[in-house]
């Protein structure tokens, strides 16, 4: 079987890109009986790594999809067609889109698999798109992706049910695929390297802190996180908010900074900006807990990364987080400030609770591996029958 892989989001620094890169690497380890062709935009070619033995096709475009497919932007028609022409002439038995984020129309391809991580833009469009134009372009692209796909994959049972309901899809057309922490995320003892990592991001090695990792988008519910932190945290505890200020997705970083000032917490809350994995593993390892207050998550890579480091998770009950975190976390309604504050107070005030959750986190994280996710994708490819098209009501 000759399988095409969309590499248009491999250079993205958010979860879309991490999922695509990790899945591609795992396919290089476990799929030895198939040919893979990875289609990468020329602007990103020197920033992505394709497994040895995979064919790489460089697609000439004016703008990298990782930049063009933003909350306020749109991809040029000529760039989309460049990808379409490249795949149509590659004699593919199947085409896999690790994320609908960089989807483009395909033809002359046997079967199509598209991963859609969640129904967030359908449930909270005003929190995802800053304007109507961005929402319109996303809606058109996503519906074309759904209609084109022989199978849609998603990363949690909650997201599967949401997508089936919103697009009126039969259950056999929407399957599951896992995700996992990168191997760099593992327990590490405090030492000079972690001390230096903390100092780099405005934290003192001796201090206690909670950590949030992810986007700075409105649906991440960070304003409420800061308000709950103000209610519960002792004066000697800090909150590190790890998020990329250069993100192409909708963010409200200025509002978050203003809320920090309003709460009088500029001395306790630190915004680190983007943190590379080699430093992030140390921040996870030294944190009292990861707090994930999102209004909706399709999977939640930061929680499994934190768990792999032996760090407890305090998580919203919304979306996939209870499904993913399980017994390794404490949960709260994301709109209930008292409940969120109570979870933080419990893990900060009870060392026994933290130790119990940390042990459970390591056990739980072992369930998630990228090799298992790659095998799931191969099973979906093998299980597809003759070409059929999904119809969207």
Q: Environment class of residue 107 by beta-carbon count within 10 Å: exposed (0-12), middle (13-18) or buried (19+)?
A: exposed
Residues in CB range of 286: below 8 A, 6 or more apart? 190, 194, 198, 203, 205, 209
The answer as to whether 89 is a domain residue is yes
Please tell me the total count of domains within the chain: 2
Predicted pLDDT of residue 249: 62
Percent of the chain whose pLDDT exceeds 70: 94
- pLDDT computed for residue 248 by the predictor: 55
Per DSSP, 72 falls in state S
How many whole angstroms separate alpha carbon 208 and alpha carbon 238?
A: 7
At residue 108, φ and ψ (nearest 5 deg) are 60, 35
Mean pLDDT, range 195-220, rounded to an integer: 94
Chain segment 4-62, per-residue pLDDT in tens: 999 988 888 778 889 999 999 999 999 888 999 999 998 888 888 999 999 999 999 88
Q: Give the domain extent around 344.
A: 192-365
**Residue 187 falls inside a structural domain:** no
**Confidence class for position 69, pLDDT limits 50, 70, 90:** low
Segment 92-120 mean pLDDT: 93
Average pLDDT on 275-284 reads 96
240 and 338 fall within a common domain: yes
Q: Do residues 358 and 374 share a domain? A: no
When pLDDT is cut at 50, 70 and 90, the band that residue 146 belongs to is: very high
Whether residues 53 and 174 fall in one domain? yes
The Cα 239–Cα 290 span in angstroms is 10
pLDDT at 215 over 80: yes
How far is 230 from 154, CA to CA, in rounded Å? 36
Q: Distance (Å, rounded) from C-alpha 261 to C-alpha 257?
A: 6
| 100 within a domain of the structure (yes/no) | yes
State whether 245 and 375 are in the same domain. no
The single-letter DSSP state of residue 268 is T
pLDDT of the residue at 77: 86
Cα distance between residue 293 and residue 318, in whole Å: 9
Residue 217: count of CB within 10 angstroms of its CB? 23
pLDDT of residue 70: 53
| Assigned token pair, 88 | 């149509």
In terms of domains, do 329 and 351 share one?
yes
Residue 361 structure tokens: 């986190």
pLDDT on residue 167: 94
Residue 151: strand pairing partners:
113
Residue 37 lies in a domain: yes
Is residue 28 located within the same domain as residue 66?
yes
Residues 320 and 256 in one domain: yes
Residue 146: φ, ψ to 5°: -65, -45
Neighbours of 77 (CB within 10 A): 8
pLDDT at 156 over 80: yes
pTM confidence score: 0.90
Please indicate, yes or no, whether residues 166 and 210 belong to a single structural domain of this protein.
no
In which residue are the tokens 């800061």 written? 226
- Residue 122: its pLDDT value, please? 87
In a domain, 96, yes or no: yes
β-bridge partners, 318:
none
User: At 393, is the pLDDT very low, low, confident or very high (cuts 50, 70, 90)?
Assistant: very low
The pLDDT score that the predictor gives to residue 68 is: 60
Asked if residue 308 belongs to a domain, the reply is yes
Same domain as 250, residue 221 = yes
SS in 3 state form for 97-119? ECCHHHCCCCCCCCEEEEECCCC
Query: Which residues are registered as beta bridge partners of 209?
Result: 238
In a domain, 388, yes or no: no
Residue 175 and residue 212 share a domain: no
The reported pLDDT for the residue numbered 389 is 39
Distance CA 97, CA 5 (A): 6
Residue 180, SS3 per DSSP: coil
- Mean of the per-residue pLDDT values for the chain? 90
Cα–Cα distance measured from residue 176 to residue 160, given in angstroms and rounded to the nearest whole number: 7
Q: What is the pLDDT of residues 347-376, one digit of tens each?
A: 999 999 999 999 999 999 999 999 999 999
Judgement on whether residues 46 and 162 belong to the same structural domain of the protein = yes
The structure tokens listed for 96 are 């896999």
**CATH code at position 277:** 3.40.50.2000
pLDDT of residue 265: 94
Same domain? 65 vs 200: no
Is residue 392 included in any domain, yes or no? Answer: no
How many helices, marked H, and strands, marked E, lie in the chain?
16, 13
For residue range 312-344, list pLDDT tens digits in order. 999 999 999 999 999 999 999 999 999 999 999
Across 42-46, 72-76, 112-116, least confident range: 72-76
């Amino acid at each position: 079987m000759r399988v095409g892989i969309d590499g248009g989001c491999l250079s993205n620094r958010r979860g879309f890109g991490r999922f695509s890169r990790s899945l591609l690497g795992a396919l290089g380890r476990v799929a030895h009986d198939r040919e893979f062709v990875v289609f990468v935009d020329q602007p990103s070619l020197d920033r992505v790594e394709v497994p040895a033995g995979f064919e790489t096709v460089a697609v000439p475009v004016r703008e990298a999809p990782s930049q063009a497919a933003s909350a306020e932007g749109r991809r040029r028609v000529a760039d989309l067609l460049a990808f379409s022409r490249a795949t149509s002439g590659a004699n593919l038995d199947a085409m896999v889109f690790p994320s609908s984020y960089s989807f483009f129309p395909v033809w002359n391809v046997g079967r199509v698999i598209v991963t859609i991580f969640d129904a967030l833009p359908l449930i909270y469009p005003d929190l995802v798109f800053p304007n109507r134009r961005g929402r319109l372009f996303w809606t058109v692209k996503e519906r074309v992706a759904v209609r084109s796909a022989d199978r849609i994959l998603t990363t949690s049972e909650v997201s599967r049910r949401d997508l089936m309901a919103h697009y009126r899809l039969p259950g056999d057309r929407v399957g599951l695929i896992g995700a996992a922490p990168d191997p760099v995320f593992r327990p590490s003892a405090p030492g000079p390297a972690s001390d230096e990592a903390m100092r780099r991001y405005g934290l003192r090695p001796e201090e206690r802190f909670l950590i949030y990792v992810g986007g700075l988008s409105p649906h991440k519910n960070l304003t409420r996180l800061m308000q709950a932190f103000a209610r519960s945290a002792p004066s000697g505890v800090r909150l590190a908010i790890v998020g990329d200020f250069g993100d192409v997705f909708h963010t409200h970083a200025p509002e978050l900074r203003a809320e920090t000032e309003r709460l009088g917490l500029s001395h306790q809350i630190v915004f680190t900006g983007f943190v590379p994995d080699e430093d992030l593993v140390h921040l996870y390892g030294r944190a009292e807990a990861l707090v994930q207050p999102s209004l909706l998550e399709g999977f939640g890579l930061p929680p499994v990364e934190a768990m792999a480091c032996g760090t407890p998770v305090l998580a919203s009950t919304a979306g996939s987080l209870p499904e993913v975190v399980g017994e390794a976390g404490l949960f709260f309604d994301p709109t209930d400030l008292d409940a969120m504050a109570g979870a933080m107070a419990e893990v900060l005030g009870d060392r026994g609770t933290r130790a119990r959750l940390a042990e459970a986190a390591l056990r739980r994280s072992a369930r998630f591996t990228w090799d298992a996710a790659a095998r799931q994708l191969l099973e979906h490819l093998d299980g597809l029958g003759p070409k059929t098209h999904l119809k969207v009501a």
